[in-house]
């Protein structure tokens, strides 16, 4: 089953994500964001990227993690896949992904917002809903 | 929690109020400008719940104003205005939005539609070719760090010095195209990195350049004073501060998360994060916001220059006068320090407008001399393929809405539903069949902006006009649309 789903939002994009662990939730959120943006990679050299984020809680880390990939997409013209989280604490994150040249990107995501953002623990793991400004 | 219409008290023909008794955390009421139908539209999404959240912020005065084109956004609804008391009230980056100084520029002409008709397809192609657009679009102007700092401080004045503007363009731009007090030192290196190659670019999403014809004039004297004549072409440019502004807002929404806690501010939604206006954090954001605002004024100026070049490329020698003159340039995502009367007393306020246009009435400071008797032009783009409007600010806005009016048609359909119901290519063909040339970088993006996803702009304007928060001057009909 796809671990994310676009849900109704009048002006922006809203992405509901669920996963068995927080680490998987971060990975699925990044995958979902690129899927929503209609990202397609072109054949070309792969580039491995690692990132580290520091923030005051898990929600802020999630925003920073997603924002970091958007920034790299804009600056490098790459789209990302193969996301992984190596370390996740309540205030720090390290992880990475593989970047390839963007062949197609249907939509510009301006920002990842904090709007009603909360990572909830569920019986199956964790879930959250992220609103992206487009 | 859903809000029901019964919770609102009708306090005027087109004004509804939700009192502070609705929610014990509300510090001021919410006032919605709407008729029955538009209020019911607003109740279908979370717009008014978002307005209630805004009304819970500290330091607000009067009431939260909600425009007839309101729709759900993030944090503050799009079509919302809030005013905070200075010097102690708050400033909220997320309530101004990521696209700082997203706005609209209108250029008028003396080109009759029938004379230009044979060349409109070429004109659409030239605009699409000359005005960089789409995701990751880079501009022809690459700025050094020092030049970007000058753009931050000088806004459209930088463009004037570099030969991309005329003096009268700046005179017909809100703030004369330059907000005083911008500080590039308050802008992150990352924002500057994003901004360096994006000056003179349109971007994507709902941003566009449109060639229009003045379809109907409601106030011939005012239209003439603005340089608009029935049957003549006009050009509308809708865009903002690009990645530069997006990054500035992102940086401050993030850093304010800790600041709000330090100042003991309870937030109903973390996107509404704020700090006292006069705090070091508040002042730092305000000076960075002004840098983004100046970048956006300069960005639209460069696009206007490219539009003029496109008109010259295509129409020179084919029509008697192919020039484009600037009618006005407005911002609809901005925080500004202004003085307004509340309860009969003048207050210095920080007015946050998110998806709302400043609409000062006749005689108020801040208007160009030639528009002083008229009031501020309010430029209201419709949805793609439908009419846009030119209005003027009124004395009523100064008394009721912190000098503000609406900014667009307002969405009613989610992007997800629009993508599901509308096919970009079919929409493009429909628009072409209606005589609207379309150049778009992304067909799925085009589908999300389908006219059916928006309210009827003519209905919104009728309510704005009847409520007295702007008056009609002219209606514009699109003949060519360029989108990223």
**Mean pLDDT confidence for B12-31:** 98
Tokens for B393? 């600010």
Helix (H, G, I), strand (E, B) or coil at B303: helix
Cβ pair B416, A9 in contact under 8 A: yes
Residue A24 distance to chain B (closest CA, Å):
23
Q: From the candidates A51, A113, A132, which should be mutated to test the interface with B, based on the most B CB atoms within 10 A? A: A113
How high is the pLDDT of residue B228? 98
Q: What is the pLDDT of residue A11?
A: 81
Tell me how far apart the alpha carbons of residues A99 and B285 are, in angstroms, rounded to a whole number.
Answer: 33
Residue ranges of E strands in B145-243: 208-217, 232-239
B333 shares contact with chain A (CB less than 8 Å): no
Of B98, B269, B415, the CB nearest to A111: B98
Contact A110 B417 (CB under 8 A): no
**Three-state secondary-structure class, residue B32:** strand
Q: Is the pLDDT confidence value at B324 over 80? A: yes
Beta partners for residue A128, in sequence order = A17
On the CB side of B339, CA atoms within 13 Å amount to 6
State the CB neighbour count (10 A cutoff) for residue A103. Answer: 12
Whether residue A108 lies within 8 A of chain B, CB to CB, comes out as yes
**Could you identify the residue written with the tokens 């005005």?**
B131
| Whether the Cβ atoms of residue B460 and residue B409 lie closer than 8 Å to each other | yes
Distance between start and end Cα atoms, chain B: 36
- pLDDT for position B179: 98
DSSP per position, B74-100: ESEEEEEEEEEETTTSEE-HHHH-SST
**β-sheet bridge partners, residue A127:** A18, A120
* pTM as predicted: 0.96
> Which pLDDT value is given to residue B300?
98
The average confidence (pLDDT) of chain B is 95
Residue B384: per-residue pLDDT: 83
| Overall average pLDDT of the B371-387 stretch | 94
Q: Beta partners for B30?
A: B18, B64
Residue B82 confidence (pLDDT) above 80: yes
Tell me if chain A has a CB within 8 Å of the CB of B136.
yes
* Secondary structure element (H or E) that encloses residue A40, with its range: strand A40-41
Distance CA B49, CA B197 (A): 38
Q: How confident is the model at residue B91 (pLDDT cuts 50, 70, 90)?
A: very high
Per-residue pLDDT, A10: 84
Nearest residue in chain B measured CA to CA from A60 = B254
Bigger pLDDT: B413 vs B185: B185
* pLDDT for B207 beyond 80: yes
| Interface check B142 vs A, CB under 8 A | no
- Put simply, whether A91 touches B (Cβ < 8 Å) is no
B423 touches chain A (CB under 8 A): no
Which residues of chain B have a CB within 8 Å of the CB of A59?
A: 270
Asked about B340 being catalytic, the answer comes back as no
Q: pLDDT digits over A56-103, tens only?
A: 999 999 999 999 999 999 999 999 999 999 999 999 999 999 999 999
pLDDT at B334: 98
Question: Please, are residues B292 and B252 in contact by the beta-carbon 8 Å criterion?
Answer: no
CB of B351 within 8 A of CB of B403? yes
Q: What is the ipTM of this complex?
A: 0.94
Judged by DSSP in three states, B69 sits in: strand
Residue A97 pLDDT: 98
Check residue B450 and give its pLDDT: 87
Residue A111: which of B45, B203, B249 has the nearest Cβ? Answer: B249
Identify the pLDDT of residue B447: 87
**A16 touches B: beta carbon within 8 Å:** no
Q: Is A111 exposed, middle or buried (0-12, 13-18, 19+ CB in 10 A)?
A: buried
Q: How many residues does chain B have?
A: 484
- Say if residues B354 and B76 touch (Cβ distance below 8 Å): yes
**B349 or B383, greater pLDDT:** B349
Checking if the pLDDT of B136 tops 80, the result is: no
Q: Do A113 and B271 touch (CB under 8 A)?
A: yes
- Selecting from A11, A108, A133 the residue whose C-beta is nearest the C-beta of B71 gives A11
Query: What residue of B is the nearest CA neighbor of A118?
Result: B270
What is the sign of the dihedral through the CA atoms of B410, B415, B417 and B418? positive
Alpha helices in B271-400 (DSSP H): 280-315, 395-400
pLDDT band for B288, please (50, 70, 90 cuts): very high
In this structure, what token pair is assigned to residue B228?
A: 């608009």
Hey, are the CB atoms on A8 and B414 less than 8 Å from each other? yes
Helix, strand or coil for residue A6? strand
List CB contacts (< 8 A) between A108 and chain B. Answer: 134-135, 203-205, 484
């Amino acid at each position: 089953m796809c671990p994310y789903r676009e849900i109704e939002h009048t002006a922006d994009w809203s992405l509901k994500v669920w996963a068995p662990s927080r680490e998987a939730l971060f990975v699925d959120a990044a995958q979902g964001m690129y899927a929503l943006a209609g990202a397609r990679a072109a054949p070309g050299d792969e580039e491995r990227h690692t990132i580290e984020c520091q923030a005051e809680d898990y929600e802020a880390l999630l925003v920073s993690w997603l924002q970091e990939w958007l920034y790299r997409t804009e600056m490098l013209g790459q789209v990302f896949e193969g996301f992984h989280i190596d370390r996740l604490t309540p205030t720090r994150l390290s992880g990475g992904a593989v970047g390839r040249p963007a062949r197609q990107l249907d939509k510009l995501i301006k920002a990842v917002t904090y709007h009603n953002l909360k990572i909830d623990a569920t019986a199956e793991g964790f879930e959250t809903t992220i609103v992206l400004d487009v | 929690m859903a809000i029901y219409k019964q919770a609102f008290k009708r306090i005027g023909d087109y004004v509804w109020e939700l009192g502070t008794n609705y929610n014990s955390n509300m510090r001021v009421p919410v006032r919605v400008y709407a008729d029955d139908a538009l209020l019911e539209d607003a109740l279908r999404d979370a717009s008014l719940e978002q307005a209630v959240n805004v009304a819970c912020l500290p330091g607000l005065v009067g009431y939260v104003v909600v425009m007839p084109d309101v729709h759900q956004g993030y944090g503050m609804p799009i079509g919302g205005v809030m005013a905070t008391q200075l010097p102690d009230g708050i400033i909220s980056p997320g309530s101004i939005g990521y696209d700082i100084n997203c706005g609209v520029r209108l250029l008028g002409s003396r080109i009759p539609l029938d004379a230009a008709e044979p060349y409109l397809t070429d004109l659409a192609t030239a605009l699409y070719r000359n005005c960089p657009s789409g995701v990751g679009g880079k501009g022809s102007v690459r700025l050094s760090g020092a030049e970007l700092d000058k753009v931050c401080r000088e806004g459209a004045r930088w463009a004037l010095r570099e030969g991309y503007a005329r003096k009268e363009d700046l005179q017909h731009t809100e703030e004369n195209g330059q907000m005083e007090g911008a500080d590039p030192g308050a802008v992150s290196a990352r924002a500057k990195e994003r901004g360096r190659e994006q000056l003179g670019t349109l971007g994507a999403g709902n941003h566009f350049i449109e060639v229009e014809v003045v379809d109907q004039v409601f106030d011939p004297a005012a239209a003439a004073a603005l340089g608009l004549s029935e049957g003549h072409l006009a050009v509308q440019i809708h865009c903002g501060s690009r990645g530069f502004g997006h990054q500035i807002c992102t940086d401050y929404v993030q850093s304010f998360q800790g600041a709000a806690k330090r100042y003991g501010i309870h937030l109903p939604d973390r996107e509404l994060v704020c700090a006292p206006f006069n705090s070091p954090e508040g002042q730092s954001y305000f000076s960075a916001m002004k840098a983004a605002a100046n970048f956006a004024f300069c960005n639209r100026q460069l696009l206007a220059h490219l539009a003029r070049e496109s008109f010259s490329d295509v129409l020179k020698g084919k029509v008697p006068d192919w020039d484009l003159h600037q009618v006005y340039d407005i911002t609809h995502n901005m925080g500004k320090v202004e003085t307004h009367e509340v309860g009969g007393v003048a207050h210095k306020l920080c007015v946050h407008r998110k998806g709302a246009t400043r609409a000062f009435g006749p005689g108020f400071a801040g208007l160009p001399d030639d528009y002083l008797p008229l009031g501020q032009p309010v430029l209201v783009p419709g949805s793609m393929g439908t009419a846009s409007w030119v209005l003027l600010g009124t004395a009523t806005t100064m008394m009721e809405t912190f000098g503000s009016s609406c900014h667009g048609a307002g969405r009613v359909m989610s992007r997800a539903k629009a993508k599901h119901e509308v096919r970009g290519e079919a929409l493009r063909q429909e628009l072409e069949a209606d005589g609207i040339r379309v150049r778009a970088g992304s067909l799925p993006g085009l589908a999300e902006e389908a006219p059916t996803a928006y309210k009827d702009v003519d209905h919104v304007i009728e309510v704005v006009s009847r409520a007295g928060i702007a008056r009609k001057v002219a209606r514009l009909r699109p003949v060519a649309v360029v989108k990223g």
